[in-house]
Amino acid sequence: MQHHDRHIPVLLERCVELLAPALERPGAVLLDATLGLGGHAEAFLQRFPELTLVGLDRDPDALARTGERLAPFADRIRLVHAVYDEVPEVLEREGIPALDGVLFDLGVSSMQLDEAERGFAYAQDAPLDMRMDNSTGVTAADVLAEYDESELRRIFYEYGDEKLAPRFASRIVARRQERPILRSGDLVDIIAAATPAAVQRTGHPAKRVFQALRIEVNQELSVLERAVPNALDALAVGGRIVVLAYQSLEDRIVKRELAVRTASTAPAGLPVELPEHAPRFRALVRGAELAGDEERAVNSRATPVRLRAAERIREENR
């Protein structure tokens, strides 16, 4: 079975509904900033026959596989090996002055989770890699070998909200003095041995540590803090953005940036809002939307999703 046969794009119909008014315009360009297996991209290309799609992914394997999937649309796609904070550079190279739509489907892709050798899944023993782009950068094994105890404790706290961070960091440092921690099974064993039985009954003890390591290895939050403003800046008036976030740290970054962009910049107490102080964007949904019961029942990966969306309503101040 092909990967894309197993993959159900999260909130697909809602994404199409929100982006459609912008993508129906002549010559519309959609940026899929997190191409992955191309489920969303394929649907947009099918439904909007005049659409040009620019797809970014930092994973060369995902780009290659998705390129095959999207081959029927070869004359309308531009697939680029890039991290999604590189939007300005990509658009300049591609000669695209502005975007009509942007989609971010954040987090680890289905393909990366399903391929045990990538080391993302705590349920499968594999080398501790966790790089979304496995051609460059440090691995999770490198982090476990090189970070001191305080650094490990910090990332487990900040990126995993792990209350047992001090205990886990201490045990990891002690174990690596005996032998390197190179496989996910080794790390799971260390964490399980350090976790009280009562805590283990509330869920897999390694889940938050693996999330924290993945975020650190791929610098996901710092990349996102640059990527969302870059994407918003690239939208034409009437252009729309949809972001799907799967954990609170990502969602908080998106929420904060959209709050700034949809707010008036008028000084407090000004009796009349001048045009230059008017918001540049308007929110398309109230707060963050969740997947419905029906979608969560058929697609477990939709369970934690938080969707936010906005539309550019005026140019930047000049």
pLDDT tens digits along 240-299:
999 999 999 999 999 999 999 999 766 666 666 666 668 999 999 999 999 999 999 999
Assigned domain for 163 exists: yes
Picking from 178, 203, 218, the residue at the C-terminal end of a domain is 218
Residues 191 and 281 in one domain: no
Q: Is the pLDDT of residue 1 over 60?
A: no
Picking from 218, 237, 271, the residue at the C-terminal end of a domain is 218
Residues 145 and 283 in one domain: no
Residues 50 and 35 in one domain: yes
Which residues fall in the annotated binding site? 38-40, 57, 84, 105, 112
Q: Is the pLDDT of residue 318 over 60?
A: no
Q: How far is CA 159 from CA 87, 108, 147, 275, in A?
A: 25, 14, 15, 40
How many Cβ atoms are within 10 Å of 153's Cβ, its own excluded? 20
Residues 233 and 90 in one domain: yes
What is d(CA 143, CA 156) in angstroms, rounded to the nearest whole number?
Answer: 12
Residues 98 and 224 in one domain: yes
Assigned domain for 70 exists: yes
Residues 94 and 226 in one domain: yes
Assigned domain for 296 exists: yes
Which residues fall in the annotated binding site for S-adenosyl-L-methionine? 38-40, 57, 84, 105, 112
Residue 273 tokens read as 């809002």
Our count of domains for the chain comes to 2
Assigned domain for 246 exists: yes
- The torsion angles phi and psi of 57, rounded to 5 degrees, stand at -155, 140
Picking from 198, 218, 238, the residue at the C-terminal end of a domain is 218
pLDDT of residue 112: 54
Of the chain, the percentage scoring pLDDT greater than 70 comes to 90
Contact 36, 57 (CB under 8 A): yes
